[in-house]
Amino acid sequence: MEKGILRWVLLFASLLAFAQGQAKESKKESLEHLNMSAVRQVVKSHLLEVQKCYTDLIIEGMGAKGKVVVAWDIDDKGGVQNVTVKENTSKDQALEGCVTEKVQNWSFPPAESQKTFSVAYPFQFGN
């Protein structure tokens, strides 16, 4: 009787471990696949860098409130290309330059092979 129960427990444990492994693999694939959710995750991980652009300018007495919309392409290696500013309501060129410099150095999950993934992202300052 004990061997029968032990077999069922081992079978259940094996199935549970397999299911957990499948869930982890599925989660890993979704993180590796480039989409706007993955882009937002990377941007959020770098927001302190971008915010520092603004706070450094405030300390110097130069920072202006506003929104800087930055566009860029992500290549099939996860690198950033073609960084441009689409909108800058702050009219602060130093802020614009600092933000684009930060974005240029970020790494993202790769786009599809031999393709790029285009992004436009708004950064809000002083609100």
**Whether residue 49 has pLDDT greater than 70:** yes
What is this structure's pTM? Answer: 0.72
Domain locations in the chain? 1-32, 35-125
Question: What average pLDDT does the segment 18-32 reach?
Answer: 42
Structure tokens at 24: 């982890």
pLDDT at 55: 94
Assign a CATH topology to domain 35-125: TolA/TonB C-terminal domain (3.30.2420)
Report the C-alpha dihedral over residues 49, 50, 52, 56, rounded to 10 degrees. Answer: 140
Place of tokens 């602060």: 92
